[in-house]
Amino acid sequence: MKICNQCILPETFPGIKFDDRGICNHCRRADSSSTDPAVQKAGYRNKLDTLITGVKGTAPSYDVIMAYSGGKDSSYTLKLLRERYDLKILTLTFDNHFVSPVAWQNIRTLTDTLKTDHITFKLPWPSAKAIFCKAAREDIFPVPALLRASSICTACIGMVKSLVLKTALEMSIPLVAFGWSPGQAPIQSAIMKTNPSLTAQNQASLKKALSSDAITEINQYFIPENYYAIYKDRFPHNIHPLAFFDYDEGEVIRQIQALGWKEPKDTDTNSSNCLLNAFANQCHIKKHGFHPYVLEIANMVRQRVMGRDEGIEKIYSEQNQEMVKYAKEKLEL
Ligand SMILES: [Zn+2]
């Protein structure tokens, strides 16, 4: 398969165009941008400093709620928020029934060493199973979402986002943090105030995507309609700091290992916490002809936070068939 000579996007990626040097349109657009990435990142760090100075200590309970998977990126983000900003943090883990046992241990260890409170949200297995089976069989999300992640991942992350936002509104927490890698979400969205109207739109489309005859009891995972009015002044800022802090995977792992984090041996190359990911990747590749992580990894290669060979290795290796089998059997697919 032909892939871009600069990043690693393949010819099967929707909308891709190569020039005569074999460079893709995504790389050309990034090269022609007049913004210096280092200056842009420094600008965002200042913006976060200012935002945190303004909100720290103002809430009755926590400064920030963080979606915490126990994976390397969210563990590193937690360390950053705790050590650089000394925030009062509530971490929330969404138990999707596929969290690696090593990731659970990492969650316990890091929330202890970094002295942060932690809650787990687990939906019942029949509901989780119905949602993941639906996402495995059908394209339940629009194309732009599927360029960035598999249906299964998007369903799971959608619920995580909904649950942390709902909790932030209820507990009046001014910041919601995510550990997206620098390639996972654009820097332009790295610090963004949520608002009732956009949230309502997102919630409606997620609810529509997840609803089915098998999944009738899902309202409790979403923002109740009356919150948009009664909590309209509580809508928090979403932040994902790794978009604009220095990022090097080896260094990230070294720093969190110093806090007691251990690398799981039972996950695939694109996840350090989830045992469903390899199956989700395989479904996506079969259906769409490209790896659901390729945009993220290509962005990281282009930003030079990951080597091109390493990116190719992560994206163009076979999925671990043992893990695929584990997930398929558990989902009875
Ligand atoms: Zn490219």
Q: pLDDT at residue 279 above 70?
A: yes
| Residue 31 alpha carbon to ligand 1 centre in Å | 10
Q: pLDDT at residue 129 above 80?
A: yes
| Residue 6 alpha carbon to ligand 1 centre in Å | 5
The whole-number average pLDDT for the span 72-88 is 97
| Helix (H/G/I), strand (E/B), else coil: 120 | strand
Q: pLDDT at residue 286 above 70?
A: yes
**pTM, 2 dp:** 0.95
Calpha distance 305→182 (Å, rounded): 8
pLDDT band for position 267 (50/70/90)?
Answer: confident
Q: Return the pLDDT at 217.
A: 76
The 3-class SS string of 262-307 reads CCCCCCCCCCCCECCHHHHHHHHHHHHCCCCCHHHHHHHHHCCCCC
pLDDT band for position 216 (50/70/90)?
Answer: low
Other CB atoms within 10 A of residue 10 CB: 18
| Residue 298 alpha carbon to ligand 1 centre in Å | 7
Residue 245 CA: distances (Å) to CA of 190, 215, 227, 248, 259: 11, 40, 33, 10, 19
| Residue 28 alpha carbon to ligand 1 centre in Å | 7
207: buried, middle or exposed (CB in 10 Å: 19+, 13-18, 0-12)?
A: middle
Calpha distance 293→297 (Å, rounded): 6
130 φ, ψ (degrees, to nearest 5): -60, -40
pLDDT band for position 273 (50/70/90)?
Answer: confident
Q: Return the pLDDT at 68.
A: 98
| Residue 30 alpha carbon to ligand 1 centre in Å | 9
Say which residue the tokens 């990116």 belong to: 311
Instruction: Judge whether 231 and 274 are in contact, CB under 8 Å.
Output: no
Q: Return the pLDDT at 34.
A: 78
Q: pLDDT at residue 266 above 70?
A: yes
Calpha distance 212→75 (Å, rounded): 34
Q: Return the pLDDT at 219.
A: 87
Other CB atoms within 10 A of residue 104 CB: 16
The whole-number average pLDDT for the span 228-256 is 96
The whole-number average pLDDT for the span 203-223 is 85
Calpha distance 178→1 (Å, rounded): 34
| Residue 230 alpha carbon to ligand 1 centre in Å | 46
Q: pLDDT at residue 95 above 90?
A: yes
Other CB atoms within 10 A of residue 88 CB: 17
Who wins on pLDDT, 230 or 265? 230
Instruction: Judge whether 143 and 205 are in contact, CB under 8 Å.
Output: no
Q: Return the pLDDT at 211.
A: 85
**Interhelix angle for 72-83 vs 101-113, to 10°?**
0
Mean pLDDT (the chain) is: 94
Q: pLDDT at residue 276 above 80?
A: yes
| Residue 26 alpha carbon to ligand 1 centre in Å | 5
The whole-number average pLDDT for the span 246-274 is 90
Q: pLDDT at residue 169 above 90?
A: yes
The whole-number average pLDDT for the span 221-231 is 96
Q: Return the pLDDT at 238.
A: 98
